[in-house]
């Protein structure tokens, strides 16, 4: 038979307190060590945020440059079309169909004005071409040929507005009580002439493209205090509106 002898040590409550303190200190050491050994992710996170912002900024810059270049290319393309119309007028002058320097071209953005003296077509105070003024009809036909070819064949522009203008000299006529009626009647006469001779064909256009208006003496280009200024203000303007292709 084996006898096991148990060694009994007297229990002291103070020892329990000491053991508890030691255990607590060990747990704290483990916690602090674990905190100190955790990886620091903040620098990497900041780098990711900065990189993302840089990519967004670069995308915005590229988008802005792309928009600017696209707009510039569209404007250049419109300028080229406007230049082709001016060249056609010069070709007409070279062939003698249009007297030289009778049509002035003014280009502002996507608008282009063809300006000529109303005296080329109409007698003073009148809004119809007399039947015996063959040179006036030839001029109007040549102008109509330019508009027809550039609009229907080449599609250079999209809208046509025919405008009449006068000087400040009052008109005394039952038919035209004021320069408003005279300038409007001249614009309408030219428009109807183009329609009657099938120079302009509304049936071939799927959108609004033609208009006529009179401005009287209120849209002058030179002061009306000289005969030269008044002669310049008595004019017809054909406004051409260009759109992007």
Residues 143 and 148: their CA atoms lie apart, in Å, by 9
Q: What CATH number should be reported for the domain holding residue 96?
A: 3.30.1330.60
Q: What is the pLDDT of residue 162?
A: 98
Give the structural domain span for 103: 79-241
Query: For the chain, how many structural domains are there in total?
Result: 1
* Tokens 């064949």, residue located: 153
Could you tell me the pLDDT band of residue 42, with boundaries at 50, 70 and 90?
confident
Identity of the highest mean pLDDT range in 14-18, 169-173, 217-221: 217-221
Taking only the tens place, the pLDDT of each residue in 53-72 is 899 988 888 888 888 787 88
Structural domain contains residue 22: no
What residues does 117 pair with on adjacent strands? 235
Could you tell me the pLDDT band of residue 36, with boundaries at 50, 70 and 90?
low
Query: Does residue 172 carry a pLDDT above 90?
Result: no
Could you tell me the pLDDT band of residue 4, with boundaries at 50, 70 and 90?
very low
Structural domain contains residue 180: yes
Taking only the tens place, the pLDDT of each residue in 181-219 is 999 999 999 999 999 999 999 888 777 889 999 999 999
pTM of the full predicted structure?
A: 0.73
Could you tell me the pLDDT band of residue 99, with boundaries at 50, 70 and 90?
very high
Structural domain contains residue 60: no
Structural domain contains residue 64: no
Structural domain contains residue 38: no
Could you tell me the pLDDT band of residue 164, with boundaries at 50, 70 and 90?
very high
> Which of residues 245 and 130 earns the better pLDDT score?
130
Structural domain contains residue 18: no
24-62: string of b/e by CB count within 10 Å (b at 16+)? eeeeeeeeeeeeeeeeeeeeeeeeeeeeeeeeeeeeeee
Structural domain contains residue 89: yes
Rounded mean pLDDT, 161-171:
97
Structural domain contains residue 33: no
């Amino acid at each position: 038979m084996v006898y096991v002898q148990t060694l009994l040590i007297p229990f002291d409550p103070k020892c329990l307190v000491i053991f508890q303190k030691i255990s607590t200190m060990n747990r704290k050491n483990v916690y602090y060590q674990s905190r100190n050994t955790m990886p620091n992710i903040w620098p990497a996170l900041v780098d990711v945020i900065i990189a993302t912002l840089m990519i967004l900024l670069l995308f915005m810059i590229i988008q802005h440059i792309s928009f600017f270049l696209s707009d510039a290319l569209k404007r250049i393309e419109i300028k080229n079309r406007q230049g082709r119309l001016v060249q056609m007028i010069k070709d007409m002058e070279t062939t003698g169909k249009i007297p030289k320097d009778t049509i002035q071209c003014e280009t502002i953005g996507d608008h282009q004005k063809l300006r000529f003296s109303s005296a080329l077509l109409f007698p003073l105070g009148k809004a119809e071409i007399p039947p015996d003024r063959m040179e006036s009809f030839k001029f109007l036909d040549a102008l109509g040929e330019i508009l027809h070819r550039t609009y229907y064949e080449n599609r250079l522009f999209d809208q046509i507005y025919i405008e009449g203008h006068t000087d400040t000299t009052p008109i005394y006529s039952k038919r035209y009580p004021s320069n408003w009626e005279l300038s409007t009647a001249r614009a309408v006469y030219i428009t109807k002439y183009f329609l009657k001779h099938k120079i302009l064909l509304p049936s071939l256009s799927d959108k609004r493209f033609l208009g006529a208006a009179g401005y009287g003496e209120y849209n002058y280009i030179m002061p009306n205090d000289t005969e030269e200024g008044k002669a310049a203000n008595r004019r017809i303007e054909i406004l051409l509106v260009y759109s992007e292709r």
